[in-house]
């Protein structure tokens, strides 16, 4: 069991970092090269990174789940939307209230959302049903 957790955790970090890089790169491009408002850019970047995150977690991080792909997609969509709300709140607080750089708010929001995503991914979106096949003697 501990080895599975370690492996799952390391894969989660790799997938999460990949999705975070896509998210942050998209945010940076939209706000620095484009002229899109940071809160809108963060939401658009979320949409772009969602595919990387879902596919990576579905196929790699939580590959031991027994959920149908459409069930996992629906549940992970809810999980990811909660992460987006967290990210938007962090961005708004850091950028508007504390007057820190917008990119720092995105990074803080992504960090908080990552913890949420792991917990909800493991125990809900990609949950194992607990039904183990009966072995026949």
Q: Is residue 133 one of the residues assigned to a domain? A: no
Q: Is residue 134 one of the residues assigned to a domain? A: no
Does the predicted model carry a pTM greater than 0.85? no
Q: Is residue 130 one of the residues assigned to a domain? A: no
- Contact yes or no for 42/87 (Cβ under 8 A): yes
- Contact yes or no for 82/116 (Cβ under 8 A): yes
Q: Is residue 78 one of the residues assigned to a domain? A: yes
CA distances for 56 relative to 52, 63, 98, 132, angstroms: 6, 9, 34, 24
**Tens digit of pLDDT for each residue in 66-102?**
888 888 899 999 999 999 999 999 999 999 999 999 9
Q: Is residue 66 one of the residues assigned to a domain? A: yes
- Contact yes or no for 45/30 (Cβ under 8 A): yes
Q: Is residue 131 one of the residues assigned to a domain? A: no
Angle at the Cα of 11 from the Cα atoms of 6 and 17, rounded to 5 degrees: 125
Number of domains in the chain: 1
What range does the domain containing 84 cover? 2-125
Q: Is residue 137 one of the residues assigned to a domain? A: no
């Amino acid at each position: 069991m501990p080895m599975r957790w370690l492996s799952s955790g390391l894969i989660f970090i790799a997938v999460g970092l990949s999705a975070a890089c896509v998210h942050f790169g998209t945010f940076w491009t939209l706000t620095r090269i484009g002229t899109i408002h940071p809160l809108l850019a963060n939401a658009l970047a979320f949409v772009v990174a969602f595919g990387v995150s879902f596919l990576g977690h579905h196929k790699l991080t939580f590959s031991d789940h027994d959920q149908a792909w459409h069930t996992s997609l629906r549940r992970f969509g809810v999980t990811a939307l909660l992460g987006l709300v967290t990210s938007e709140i962090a961005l708004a607080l850091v950028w508007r209230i504390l007057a820190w750089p917008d990119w720092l708010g995105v990074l803080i929001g992504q960090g908080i959302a990552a913890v949420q995503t792991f917990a909800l991914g493991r125990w809900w979106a990609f949950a194992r049903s607990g039904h183990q096949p009966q072995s026949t003697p």
